[in-house]
Amino acid sequence: MRCFNCGENSAEPLCENCRTEEVLFWLWKDLSKYDVQQAQSPYLIEYVLSLGESYDKKQLTSSILDLFEQDVTYYRCLSFYWFREYDIYTNVAEDYLSKHPLVDKKSQKLLFHLMEIYVNNYYKKAYDWANKINETEGLCCDLYIKTVTIYSKIGDYDIAEELIKKLLQACEDENNVDFLEYTKETWVNALNELLKKNTGYRTKPFRPKTEDRKNQLLPFYEERGIVYGSSKSTKNNTSNKKIKESEFVPLTESEEQKLQDYCTFWCEEAFGLKAPVIYQIAAIKVRDGQLVDEFQSLIRPWDGNKAFEQAAKKANISVEMMKEAPTVKEAMTNFFAFVEDNVLISTDAFGSQRKLISRAARYNNMKQISNSFLDILDVAAEINPKFDLENNSREYLLSHFSISEGKDALEKALNNVLIYQNLMNYGEE
């Protein structure tokens, strides 16, 4: 083996001279890639290729982490292991948090991802940490939101509601709250969604999908005098009553192409057993040409384990977390409440995006989508012949207007705004 950093012969992935936090930092970026052959280190690529099918990312990563002190490795450990729920992560996290103040930023980052695991899988552990978080002032908003989530699930509705309102008030002044991940706007939207869920749980308590989680939750509900609702969920918690494709009313095209008020949208897809399914949907609301609001939601795939696995990988979360995502009925109901009666605009709105959003609507038991649609590709072809034929694609328009493609549905919906506005300003040459 050669040192992955300097290339000198070494018995370990890194020689003694290269075992620094700086080296670990850039090496971690290489190790985190799904395709390690895209790594910057030629020595890492060489080693991986030499192993062939016996290459084990988990084993290699663990061997590298073992070369460093825990205080150096824990942060890298979380970025690789947290969403895979490996024992190495929870053990390292719990040990580190027992030795460091919770107010430290690194401790909070670590605990946030630990709560991601616990909130969805281990309710008692999540509850214990939630109480510690709630008793500690000055922490990042992200941790309090995870605390709200578990309080709501286990039936402490009043505590959850009080904390949500406190956080929403704090978010009005960015100086009053700090954030680990995402933006203030993202978390405000999340808090409003949690408030709706918490209100709904008062009449229809949270019902886990697996027997193990139900058994975890029962002691909390028994202590609070809560009983599970009588309604029975179907597989993957979706309705078996869906509208047949032949019975679904075709989408209508907008008669107006130059709009000032509209919503762009985008559906991210994963492949199910029968056809592609949405695992994420987003929309951007535009008023008088200005962006005024945004919406994004994960959607729990309904077409088997393959779709779950693929969607989780694309979303960079665990399969278990994807199984906790909103059902297609919940997500699409919220989506159409957000877009209201606006014209819906997207590239390929009458192609692949039509198929995705129509199928999701049918699984929401909708016979039609009342909104009219506008396909940016059709608009482009009408504006100038250079955007027609082989140049009539999303990829070409992104390249032509120097727009980098987004990584998720929300960023791609935003790109739809940028493409559309560029076209509106382009005109005939």
Nearest CA to 92 out of 81, 83, 84 is that of 81
> Which one is predicted more confidently, 416 or 106?
416
Q: Are strands 262-271 and 344-346 parallel, antiparallel or unpaired?
A: parallel
Residue pair 373/352 in contact (Cβ under 8 Å)? The answer is: no
Q: How far is CA 98 from CA 71, 92, 94, 95, 417, in A?
A: 12, 10, 6, 5, 47
What is the pLDDT at residue 189? 86
Classify residue 147 by burial, with Cβ atoms within 10 Å: 0-12, 13-18, 19+: buried
What is the pLDDT at residue 295? 92
d(C-alpha 246, C-alpha 281), whole Å: 24
Residue 238: inside a domain: no
What is the pLDDT at residue 82? 42
Same domain, 192 and 223: yes
Q: What is the extent of the structural domain holding 4?
A: 1-99
Q: What is the pTM of this model?
A: 0.47
Residue pair 401/384 in contact (Cβ under 8 Å)? The answer is: no
Average pLDDT over residues 249-260: 92
Residue 274: inside a domain: yes
Same domain, 271 and 371: yes
Same domain, 257 and 383: yes
What is the pLDDT at residue 84? 44
Residue 236: inside a domain: no
| pLDDT tens profile 331-348 | 998 999 999 999 999 999
- Res. 253: pLDDT tops 90: yes
Residue 339: inside a domain: yes
Residue 408: inside a domain: yes
Residue 214: inside a domain: yes
Residue pair 427/380 in contact (Cβ under 8 Å)? The answer is: no
- Res. 427: pLDDT tops 60: no
Same domain, 275 and 401: yes
- Res. 353: pLDDT tops 70: yes
Same domain, 254 and 390: yes
Same domain, 293 and 400: yes
Residue 240: inside a domain: no
What is the pLDDT at residue 124? 93
Q: What SS3 class is residue 235?
A: helix
What amino acid is encoded at 283 in this protein? A
d(C-alpha 320, C-alpha 311), whole Å: 11
User: What domain count does the chain have?
Assistant: 3
Q: Are strands 262-271 and 276-287 parallel, antiparallel or unpaired?
A: antiparallel
Same domain, 282 and 391: yes
Same domain, 408 and 303: yes
Same domain, 120 and 6: no
The residue among 72, 99, 126 that closes a domain is 99
- Res. 413: pLDDT tops 90: yes
The residue among 99, 133, 152 that closes a domain is 99
The residue among 77, 99, 121 that closes a domain is 99
Looking up residue 327, the CATH number of its domain turns out to be 3.30.420.10
What is the pLDDT at residue 231? 34
